Amino acid sequence: MLGWLFASPAERRLLPGGRLRGPTPFVIAIMTFAMMTVAAAGLALSNAAGLVVQGIENRFAVQIPAGSDLLPRALAAARSAPGVVTAEPVPEAEMRRTLESWLGPAGVDDQLPVPALITLDVGANADLAAIAKRVATAAPGARFIAHREVLDPLLRAIRVLQWLALALVALMAVATSAAVVLAARGALDTHRSTIEVMHGIGATDVQVTNLFQRKIALDSLAGAIAGAVAAVLVLLLLAGGGTAFAGDLMGRSPLHGLDFVMLALLPFALVVLATGVARTAVLATLRQAT
Amino acid sequence: MGRDRALSAIVEFDSVGLRYGTGAEVLRDLDFRLGRGTFYFLTGPSGAGKTSLLKLLYLAQRPTRGRIRLFGEELSEAPRDVLPGFRRRIGVVFQDFRLIRHLSAFDNIALPLRIGGRNEAEVEGPVREMLAWVGLADRASARPATLSGGEQQRVAIARAVISQPEILVADEPTGNVDAEMAQRLMNLFVALNRLGTTVVVATHDVGLIAATPGAQMVRLENGSMVDPTGSLRNPSPSPHGETRGTS
């Protein structure tokens, strides 16, 4: 099945020219680099979105408009409700500090009314309606706000970016295929006289194709390795500068074990794609010839 | 009798015509048979269609009408995939040699054997022997660009005959060599013919034709075969009385 890959010295001499001649290695190197960095970004976004969802899935805020007067009753009601894991009030000072960053010094003015806020973590199967009812009974007018609802626009944006990354990877694969088709046709044109002689003395299309397929596969492999090395270096540089930020945001590395495996397989997938496309293009071109 | 004739014919053309694109027919109503193991000279004025006829013979071109049978098989409309197997049974000496310029003389001559699937151990001996035969033993590693016209022609002939084809087609094979070498090459063709190879040589060299006893002449004029006696429709048996099996 892979016999075509192991050509004899005589077969290698039929298509002259060493490695890294022609556009294929360079196109594949650039595409590999771009695909790996885009894919890494997409995977990191996916992991970040997963972590955010995991963190807020069961977290709610209870807003009490009347302020701190009803806070103790609401807190007691929340803590006694079945399914509530934790219920903690947000200190007023912390809320005013947050407001200060938006409103300036007016945010810490005692005259500015600030609602009381309770953060709730509930169990996976908690009855949210029953909890909300119990809290509302203790503190009329209390609003139950799911963190998920607040962050949904951000999560949607992250999902769009993930799909965009996937689409970019697919587009780059298509562009790579188109470049390989052009390179294969160019190579056929360059070696037209050799092909005519080979056909004339009984070479099959498959024999001719194997020569070009092997050359393009090796050129692609060289390009893919170069592109992958460059991508790894850039990703390491980015990780070096952004690890603290990413760690603060996510509490762990933005890429996991399986992500690294996928990224490592990407250059080889591109080589397989280029080789398959080259074989198809060469065979199709030869069959059109006569 | 008719069945014997059919069996001895290695090439059969029935009402064959050929045109390139939308141009006029360059070959018209070719209707002939070539006997197995026979030696033919193809003659005719320039532009008569000799090279086009040879292209049909070595399966580089399909006829635009009529039928061609080679080795007993109808090949006019045969699928592309089956043609290489038949081409390997035909040796061709092209008028312009068509050597692969980046390969050495050795590699050019070895090409048919390698394409035929022979391993390197089976290639070395016959190629060295052939190089010696055409007087190029010391030029084995030379590229075509460094060879003279005559030397290139000898490499082309060696490449055509190395696999001992059943049909040898040669287009002006001695055009670039001196008289002595021309005679040596013709002797090689005759030797191959004695082993059963059907030889078709297109040439203008009447001296060469005269020096090859037993050869038959095929004449083309304006794309048509000149065959007043009808001998090409009913070929006589090989003068050497030998035939080769269709392996």
State the DSSP string of A128-153: HHHHHHHHHHHSTT-EEEEHHHHHHH
Nearest CB partner across the interface for A201, out of B62, B80, B115 = B115
Distance from CA of A201 to the nearest CA of B (A): 6
Quick check: B5 pLDDT over 50?
no
Q: A248 pLDDT exceeds 70?
A: no
Q: What is the pLDDT of residue A2?
A: 63
Residues of B in contact with A288 (CB under 8 A): none
* Distance, CA of B220 to CA of B27 (rounded, Å): 9
CA distance A104 to A94: 14
Q: Which amino acid is located at A69 in the chain?
A: D
* pLDDT of B215 strictly over 60: yes
pLDDT by residue (tens digit) across B9-37? 899 999 999 999 888 999 999 999 999 99
User: What was the ipTM of the complex prediction?
Assistant: 0.83
Q: Which residue has the higher pLDDT, B138 or B153?
A: B138
% chain B with pLDDT above 90: 53
Looking at residue B228, what is its pLDDT? Answer: 60
pLDDT tier for residue B202 given thresholds of 50, 70 and 90: very high
For residue B124, what are its two tokens? 């070395």
Judging by beta carbons within 10 Å of its beta carbon (0-12, 13-18, 19+), is residue B119 exposed, middle or buried?
A: exposed
pLDDT value for B3? 44
CA distance linking residue B197 with residue B167, whole number of Å: 5
> What pLDDT score was predicted for residue A28?
94
Residues, chain B, total? Answer: 247
Q: Which residues of A touch B85 (CB under 8 A)?
A: 202
Q: Do A202 and B58 touch (CB under 8 A)?
A: no
Query: Is A17 a residue whose pLDDT tops 60?
Result: yes
The reply to whether residue A198 touches residue B111, judged by beta carbons under 8 angstroms, is yes
Checking if the pLDDT of B4 tops 80, the result is: no
- Which of the residue ranges A53-57, A248-252, B94-98 has the most confident prediction, judged by mean pLDDT? B94-98
Instruction: Please report the pLDDT score of residue A162 as a whole number.
Output: 87
Q: Which pLDDT belongs to residue B160? A: 93
Over residues A44-68, the mean pLDDT reads 81
Given an 8 Å threshold on Cβ–Cβ distance, is A13 in contact with B107?
yes
* Cβ neighbours of A203 in B, within 8 Å: 84, 115
The Cα B68–Cα B57 span in angstroms is 9
B86 to chain A: closest CA residue: A202
Residue of A nearest to B88 (CA): A202
Buried b (16+ CB within 10 A) or exposed e, B166-178: bbbbbbbbbebbe
Which residues does chain A have within 8 Å of residue B60's beta carbon, measured at their own beta carbons? Answer: 200, 290
Does B198 have pLDDT greater than 70? yes
Query: Residue B116: what pLDDT?
Result: 92
**A76-118: per-residue pLDDT in tens?**
888 888 888 888 888 888 888 888 888 877 767 777 777 888 8
Residue A61: CB partners within 8 Å, gap ≥ 6?
A117, A118, A119, A120, A144, A145, A147
Q: CB B60 to CB A14 under 8 A?
A: no
Query: Given CA atoms B199, B167, B58, B154 in this order, what sign does their dihedral have?
Result: negative
Enter the tokens of residue B17: 């015509």
- Residue ranges of B 91-130 with Cβ closer than 8 A to chain A: 92, 94, 98-103, 107, 110-112, 114-116, 120
Question: What was the pLDDT predicted at B244?
Answer: 41
**Residue A199 contacts B, CB cutoff 8 Å:** yes
Measured between CA atoms, the residue of chain A closest to residue B106 is A10
Q: How far apart are the first and last CA of chain B?
A: 24
Contact at 8 Å (CB) between B111 and B155? no
Q: Is pLDDT above 50 for A131?
A: yes
Among the partner-chain residues A16, A200, A287, the one whose CB lies closest to the CB of B87 is: A200
Confidence of residue B146 (pLDDT cuts 50, 70, 90): very high
CA distance A185 to chain B (A): 20
CA distances from B233 to A127, B59, B222, B225, B236 (A): 100, 21, 19, 11, 10
The model's confidence at residue A22, banded by pLDDT at 50, 70 and 90, is: confident
Please say if the pLDDT value at position A290 is more than 90. Answer: no
